[in-house]
Amino acid sequence: MLFTTTKQQEELRKQVRTFAETEIKPIAFMLDKENQFPSEQIAEFADMGLMGIPYPKEYGGAGLDVLSYAIAVEELSRVDGGTGVILSAHVSLGSYPIFAFGNEEQKKKYLVPLAKGEKIGAFGLTEPNAGSDAGGTETTAVLEGDHYVLNGNKIFITNADKADIYVVFASTNPELGTKGISAFIVEKGMGGFTFGDHYDKMGIRSSSTAELIFNDVRVPKENLLGKEGEGFKIAMSTLDGGRIGIAAQALGIAQGAYENALAYAKEREQFGKPIAQQQGIAFKLADMATKLRCARMLVYSAAELKEQHEPYGMESAMAKLYASDIALEVCNDALQIFGGSGYLKGMDVERAYRDAKITTIYEGTNEIQRVVIASHLIGKQPK
């Protein structure tokens, strides 16, 4: 599949790049060191229309396309991987299920403020005993009168206490396995809904990640998303799209590390000439640029397929798998080019190296991406 980016997409790239360079880059080291969420910058995302990029204007979005969204995540991640995932989790995971599966009332009440950036979204799927095996959800939701009562814990949740609106998965009928899982829209402040401590993470430290704790949380019946038992499919199809966001994040992190390494290699002299002119380094740069180009093709074409309403689950898994694997390789090579100085705290390349790692783990480990890709190729295999 061939594609070219449009003038509008490239203008958006320029706008987000300028913002990331001027507003995020100067504080990225501090955000990382202090584990600090960039609240002021996220508020500016709203003014720029980033929080609802791919959603229709009638629901408060910018009415742009999926590729524009991927470009925005890429450009933020080029400077700070943590900031990239804040947008990705908000747009793909917190907002998308409401856009795709919500009824008109739910969209008006929840999608509009999310897309306008007045509220931040999050997605509660992962649990201590339901990581890769998302169907093992143990959180329960029991219907009592006009409310579902939720009990359980969700771990590793991006945006966590910084979010306001959560799409949470819980079993309404544990005997039915994946077919007993339902999706709910939960609001911060509902009684019994609290947060665990922030995780002290290796990377993406500007993003907030914590546990969601549900202790007899009464969620109004009208906050059921889709029908009872449809939750697992809602989660899976949401993740199909979310993986484009993570692929774009990985691409951006790697692009930033590559550009830093290229600039350094051109100016750093050893043996009487810039190291970029020494074949060992020149070949590394050539490999890095080639991998980035392949990854970009996969990410953008998955985004285009989604935009065109074509099947894209396999392509988004391929994009996420490849972009995250090469992000680790590219960041490793970039750090190698910097030598000892790249190993120091405060160096962008050191932070990129740490930020890149999570992209092979979350929104489905790369082992799970292979399960997904293989099931598209050869059909689902018996358990």
Closest separation between CB of residue 236 and ligand CAA, Å?
3
Would you state the structure tokens that stand for residue 355, as one six-digit string? 């930020």
Query: Among the options 127, 211, 304, 363, which is catalytic?
Result: 363
Min dist. Cβ of residue 286 to ligand CAA (A): 32
- Determine the 3-state secondary structure of 257 from DSSP: helix
To ligand CAA, the closest distance from the beta carbon of 88 in angstroms equals 7
DSSP string, 135-164: GG---EEEEETTEEEEEEEEEEEESGGG-S
Q: 153 and 189 in contact (C-beta within 8 Å)?
A: no
Instruction: Return the residue of 161, 240, 315, 325 that touches ligand CAA, per CB under 6 A.
Output: 240
- Using DSSP bridges, classify how beta strands 165-171 and 269-270 pair: parallel, antiparallel or unpaired: unpaired
Residue 327 interacts with ligand CAA (CB under 6 A): yes or no: no
Closest among 254, 253, 203, 256 to 35, alpha carbons compared: 203
The residue range among 112-120, 289-297, 304-312, 363-371 that interacts with ligand CAA, by the rule CB under 6 A, is: 363-371
Nearest to 211 by CA among 220, 200, 199, 221: 199
Q: Which residues pair with 107 in a beta bridge?
A: none
Please identify, among the stretches 22-30, 334-342, 346-354, 367-375, the one whose residues bind ligand CAA according to the rule CB under 6 A.
Answer: 367-375
Q: Which is nearer to ligand CAA, 239 or 298 (CB)?
A: 239
Instruction: Please give the size of the binding site for ligand CAA, defined by CB under 6 A.
Output: 27
Cβ distance to ligand CAA smaller for residue 9 or 249: 249
Instruction: Answer yes or no: 363 catalytic.
Output: yes
**Tokens matching residue 371:** 């399960």
Q: Are strands 193-195 and 181-187 parallel, antiparallel or unpaired?
A: unpaired
List C-alpha distances in Å: 323 to 5, 48, 241, 247, 280.
19, 27, 15, 5, 24
Residues 36-75 that bind ligand CAA (CB under 6 A): none
Span interacting with ligand CAA, options 15-23, 132-140, 166-174, 332-340, rule CB under 6 A: 132-140
Closest CA to 49 of 37, 63, 31, 70: 63
Q: Does 137 bind ligand CAA (CB under 6 A)?
A: no
Among 115, 318, 368, 373, binds ligand CAA (CB under 6 A): 368
Selected from 232, 300, 338, 353, the binder of ligand CAA by CB under 6 A is 232
CA-to-CA distance for 71 and 9, rounded, in angstroms?
8
Of residues 5 and 173, the one with the C-beta less far from ligand CAA: 173
Q: Which of 17, 116, 147, 233 binds ligand CAA (CB under 6 A)?
A: 233
Which residues 281-310 are close enough to bind ligand CAA by CB under 6 A? none
Q: For residue 320, what are its two tokens?
A: 């996420």
Q: Which of 112, 328, 372, 373 binds ligand CAA (CB under 6 A)?
A: 372
Q: Where are the alpha helices (DSSP H) in the chain?
A: 7-19, 25-34, 39-48, 66-79, 81-88, 96-101, 104-106, 112-116, 231-267, 279-307, 313-338, 348-357, 366-378
The site string for ligand CAA over 177-206 (x = CB under 6 A, - otherwise) reads -x----------------------------
Q: Which of 271, 274, 250 lies closest to 337 in space, CA to CA? A: 274
Catalytically annotated residues: 363
Please report, as ranges, the residues that interact with ligand CAA according to CB under 6 A.
Answer: 85, 89, 93, 123, 125-126, 132-135, 156, 158, 178, 232-233, 236-237, 239-240, 313, 362-364, 368, 371-372, 380
